[in-house]
Amino acid sequence: GEKLGDDDVPDFLGVTLSALDAVGHSYGPDAPETLDTLLRVDRVLGDLLDFVDRTIGLEHVIVSLSADHGVGDVPEVRLAHGLDAGRIDSAGVVCVQHEGAEVGKRFGLEGREWMPDFLYLDRAEIEAAGAAFDDVRRALATGLERCPRVAKVFLPEDIDSALDPLVAELYHNGYHPERSPDLLILLEPNTLLGGAVASHGQAQPYDTHVPWLLRLPQTASPSSVTVTGRVRTVDVAPTIAPFLGLDMTGADGHDVAELWSGTALPARTPHPR
C-alpha cells in the first residue's frame, strides 16, 4: 500500500516480531511453547521475504535482523541440573528491609523517610538528622551486599573501580545523574528479580549478547560470513548507511563492513562519557 521499492529513493520498513518475547517471558527459553513460537516466526519471515522477492526482488533489498535483549535460563531448570541459580524472593526482601533498618538506627534516621524508594535516598532527610549523606550511602551498600544473590552494591562514582570495563560500560550507558538511584546493584549470575518465569535486564552475557543477521543484495557469487568478534547494536545503522548513500558521521556506532573481508575487529574501548 505504501509502494515501497517502486522508485530509486530508499525506503525503510521496520517489523517487530513481539510474540516470541511474550512467550519467552511466560514459559522460558527451553520450553516447547517457545520453540513452537520460534518456528512460527521463521515461517512468517520466510513468507514476508518471499513476498518481497516476488514484488521487488531481493537483489534490491537489505535485510537486518536482531533483538533488543537476550534471556537467562529459568532458575529452576538450572537448579534441576545442579547449576547455580536463584531468585530474589521474600527472604531477599526481608534482608533489604533489615539492612535498611540497621543503617537507620546507626545514623539516627528512625522515623524519617530517608529512603523513599529502594536505592533512592533523600539527602535532605539524612542531613537534617545530622548524618553525612555519603556515609549513609556507603554503609547501606555494605549492608545490602550481605543479602542473598547480591554480588555488588556500589555508588555511581565507583562504577569504573567496582566493575569489569565491559560491564562498567553498560552501567555508564544506563546511568542518568538526575534520575538514577543513589546506589547501583549487581546481582549474582542467573538471578531473577521479580516473579516472571524468565526475564532479562542484568549485565550478564546471556542478557546482553544478541545475534545480528545482515543480508545484503545478492551478488554473482553469494557467500556467508560469520563474525564472532564484538559488534554492538549501535553499529547496525552506520554499517548499512553507506549502501544507501547516507552519511552517519558522528553516530555512536561504527561501520563494521570491513569484517566481511576478513579484517580483524579493532579493539574497542568503552564509549566516551
Q: What is the DSSP string of 181-204?
A: -SSEEEEPTTEEESS-SS---SSS
The pLDDT confidence band at residue 177, using thresholds 50, 70 and 90, is very high
Residues near 58 by beta carbon (within 8 Å), at least 6 away in sequence:
49, 52, 215, 217, 218
Range picked from 56-60, 81-85, 244-248 for highest mean pLDDT: 81-85
Q: What is the pLDDT of residue 271?
A: 38
Please compute the mean of the pLDDT values over residues 185-197 and round it to a whole number.
Answer: 91
Backbone φ, ψ for residue 184 (5° rounding): -115, 150
Name which residue leads in pLDDT, 49 or 266.
Answer: 49
Name which residue leads in pLDDT, 68 or 147.
Answer: 147
For residue 70, which of 255, 201, 183 has the smallest C-alpha distance? 201
Break the chain down into helix, strand, coil percent, rounded to 5.
40, 10, 50
Say yes or no to pLDDT of 78 above 80: yes
Backbone φ, ψ for residue 253 (5° rounding): -90, -175
Using CA atoms, how far apart are residues 210 and 205, in angstroms rounded to an integer?
A: 9
Backbone φ, ψ for residue 86 (5° rounding): 180, 175
Using CA atoms, how far apart are residues 183 and 192, in angstroms rounded to an integer?
A: 19
- Measured from the Cβ of residue 95, the count of other Cβ atoms closer than 10 Å reads 18
Q: What is the pLDDT of residue 7?
A: 87
Please compute the mean of the pLDDT values over residues 170-184 and round it to a whole number.
Answer: 95
Return left, alpha or beta for 221; rule: phi > 0 is left, psi -120 to 50 is alpha, else beta.
beta
Q: What is the pLDDT of residue 261?
A: 62
Using CA atoms, how far apart are residues 226 and 261, in angstroms rounded to an integer?
A: 11
Name which residue leads in pLDDT, 266 or 101.
Answer: 101
For residue 69, which of 159, 198, 248 has the smallest C-alpha distance? 198
pLDDT digits (tens, 9 = 90+) for 86-121: 999 888 999 999 999 999 999 999 999 999 999 999
Say yes or no to pLDDT of 147 above 80: yes
Say yes or no to pLDDT of 211 above 50: yes
Name which residue leads in pLDDT, 138 or 193.
Answer: 138
